[in-house]
Structure 1
Amino acid sequence: MVARIPADVEMPDKIFANLNARQVAILAVTGVLAAWVYLITDGRLPVPVLAAIVLPVIACGCALALGKRDGLGLDRVAVHAFAYLRRNRKLVTAEEGVPEPPAWCRVRGRLPGALRLPVRAIREDGVLELAEGGTAAVVQAGTVAFGLRTQDEQAALVGVFAGWLNSLDTPVQILMQARPVDLSSLADLIEGTAGRLADPALEQAARQHAQFLTELGDTRDLLTRDVLIVVRHDGSEQASSWKRGPRRTARRDSSSAIVTRRAEEAVRSLLTLGVHASVLGADDVRDLLVRSLSPRRAEPVGIARPDEPITRGEGTR
């Protein structure tokens, strides 16, 4: 027996003329609105004027119901755009929310909103404590030259990967992240060590290679790709359970142990595919979050850990 499963298992059901319920509702509302405009005019407007009023309404309704943008319906795109325009652009870190100003204070414009980050804290073992409850661990994986394998090897790789996917009992996110690469440090390293080479020909070749790396970084936007696997453990606790207390601390430790074990199982499963993988530690996770939140900005230097004192070096102001 063969059962065909569509590629998009979340595709809404078609209820009429190959249209889903959302599209039928939008077209019905558009038709009712066009009929209402026609009835209230009651022949008092010329046909060209009536057509100029009704046709744009029908066109907008059909576009919202049938149009798509990057696989997403235009009605949902419009809803997301409206929510984005209403969202506060100035955000500040305030866990309790931004208080209202006193009555005697006149505020021009809108008050800044509260910044709600999805990650509450990073544990010493690299596990993320999520603001909505639960924990997550990040696994960094390599890649495999799938196209260079034989047909039997490709089938074996697909089978092992499918077996790992079928063994999952919780949601897992596979993320492909591209980030810019700075070759200036590598070029400076080669330039600094070129003078200590014994052979003048090697020194000249090293300096030429350093110059090539510098020109390549100045004339091209270089990117590197990271393959990340995010393993989560939701549990039964909510965001309010992250408050202090011995019982809640035990829950966090238990959730951290569970998500760490699942991340290690993912690493072992990927090793059977010939893919090198490792669970990211606290420092690597911090760097990953910094790059994700500000991909085009320079990374902060010298971030102190919670238990480390903050000192001022010489020459700083």
Structure 2
Amino acid sequence: MSRHDRDTEPGRARMPADVDAPDKVLYGLTFRQLAILAIAALAFYGAWRALHDLLPAPVLLGAAVVMGGLVFGIAVGRRDGLSLDVWLLAAVRHSRAPRALSTTDTTSTTPDWVQAPKSKVMLPAPLKLPADAIDDSGEIRLGGTRAAMVAATNVNLALRTPDEQAALVDTFGRWLNSLSTPTQIVVSAQPVDLHSHARTLAQTADGLPHPALADAAADHARFLDQLAKRRDPLRRQVLIVTQTGTGERGENAARRRADDTVRALSGLGVTTRALDGAAVTAAIAAAADPYRQPRPGGLAGPDTVISGPVDGSRNTSLRRDRS
């Protein structure tokens, strides 16, 4: 098959590797880069008009060459996947941002019996999160909008035939074209605790009905334990966050969008499910601290009443603090 035939084969299209790359306007430079260079050129011209009668020309030319090189480096340079001007602006914002954040109110005055410190103490700034509540159905309240999460498995396109690949891409493209609100696809790798699986398997091996099954279970438990010591096993997690529109009303609008996503992606041959409140809470907690071991029994959702027996006769209820 010739190159022309491959390029014109139906069902295939060439796409750039970075679809978010800005367009080149002139001389391989983007509009942002040209704007930075144009502003710098105007500043240099104004400085020349103001200082050419006061300073020698070689001094002005030397300063212009040095400053021009710095501006050109800032305009075309990149670091950590960002242009240098954006990177420097983020560095300035980070240096001026508070180092400590708190969910409690730090603006209230201290009582009279508290001795005021002699030196100035930096108080933590209020922590403002985009989400303020998660209900039992899994909807996340984001101010005026709501969001929901869908967990999905992945599919290996390399093992499919060209016709199957084209069908899968077409199904995925139809779902993308149906989106009318911001949607986020998060693919992450999280550690797997094989030690707990090995312990559970070793404990249940003695209760198996046949000695051969018990030996196989014990051998597999030892294998899992050794694998956890030699390697850092990871699992891949795919989360799809659907969000409602600004004017979209309804108590379960985000949940309906999540259910529509589950139905639309079922044609890809992947396993999808809309997450409830506990699963959404666990997913957000894992995203904030991916290397923390999962707690036995999972995490309770916000505003969940946690009850436990006290003295065998009474129950005490503790309302979980949102912080």
Same fold (TM over 0.5): yes
2:321 corresponds in structure 1 to none
Aligned pair partner of 2:305 in 308, 313, 316: 308
Compute the displacement of 1:62 (Å).
1.3
Letter in 2 for 1:191: A
Aligned pair partner of 2:106 in 95, 98, 104: 98
> Which whole-Å CA distance do the structure 2 matches of 1:41 and 1:138 have between them?
65
Instruction: List runs of 5+ in structure 1 lacking aligned partners.
Output: 238-250
Q: 1:287 to 1:25 in 2, by over 3 A?
A: same
The question of 1:57 aligning with 2:67 is answered yes
> Which whole-Å CA distance do the structure 2 matches of 1:67 and 1:19 have between them?
11
Q: 1:62 to 1:215 in 2, by over 3 A?
A: same
The question of 1:115 aligning with 2:127 is answered yes
Aligned pair partner of 1:225 in 206, 227, 236: 236
CA contact (8 A) 1:133 1:234 kept: no
2:202 corresponds in structure 1 to 191
Instruction: Give a deviation string over 1:17-74, Cα, whole Å, max 9, x none.
Output: 3323321232234445666488487239879xx84x5554333211110112354211
Aligned residues: 289
2:8 corresponds in structure 1 to none
Compute the displacement of 1:15 (Å).
4.5
Q: 1:301 to 1:191 in 2, by over 3 A?
A: closer
2:55 corresponds in structure 1 to 42
1:159 corresponds in structure 2 to 170
> Which whole-Å CA distance do the structure 2 matches of 1:216 and 1:265 have between them?
40
> Which whole-Å CA distance do the structure 2 matches of 1:44 and 1:58 have between them?
16
The question of 1:257 aligning with 2:282 is answered no
Instruction: Give a deviation string over 1:168-195, Cα, whole Å, max 9, x none.
Output: 2222111112211111111011111222
> Which whole-Å CA distance do the structure 2 matches of 1:281 and 1:296 have between them?
22
> Which whole-Å CA distance do the structure 2 matches of 1:21 and 1:105 have between them?
53
1:143 corresponds in structure 2 to 154
> Which whole-Å CA distance do the structure 2 matches of 1:128 and 1:289 have between them?
11
1:269 corresponds in structure 2 to 264
Instruction: Give a deviation string over 1:245-301, Cα, whole Å, max 9, x none.
Output: xxxxxx5xx1x4222221111111111221111100111011111111122234456
Q: Which one is further off, 190-199 or 280-289?
A: 190-199
Instruction: Give a deviation string over 1:179-228, Cα, whole Å, max 9, x none.
Output: 11111111011111222234444433322321221122123222111111
With normalisation by structure 2, the TM-score equals 0.77
> Which whole-Å CA distance do the structure 1 matches of 2:141 and 2:161 have between them?
43
Aligned pair partner of 1:283 in 278, 299, 308: 278
Letter in 1 for 2:226: E
> Which whole-Å CA distance do the structure 2 matches of 1:27 and 1:312 have between them?
70
> Which whole-Å CA distance do the structure 1 matches of 2:106 and 2:59 have between them?
55
The question of 1:206 aligning with 2:203 is answered no
CA contact (8 A) 2:152 2:271 kept: yes
- Secondary structure at the aligned position of 2:290 is classed as coil
Letter in 2 for 1:274: G
2:185 corresponds in structure 1 to 174
- Secondary structure at the aligned position of 1:225 is classed as strand
Q: Which one is further off, 64-73 or 260-269?
A: 64-73
The question of 1:19 aligning with 2:29 is answered yes
CA contact (8 A) 1:160 1:273 kept: yes
Compute the displacement of 1:309 (Å).
4.3
1:246 corresponds in structure 2 to none
Identity rate, percent:
37
The question of 1:127 aligning with 2:173 is answered no
The question of 1:76 aligning with 2:86 is answered yes
Instruction: List runs of 5+ in structure 2 lacking aligned partners.
Output: 1-12, 312-323
> Which whole-Å CA distance do the structure 1 matches of 2:309 and 2:67 have between them?
64
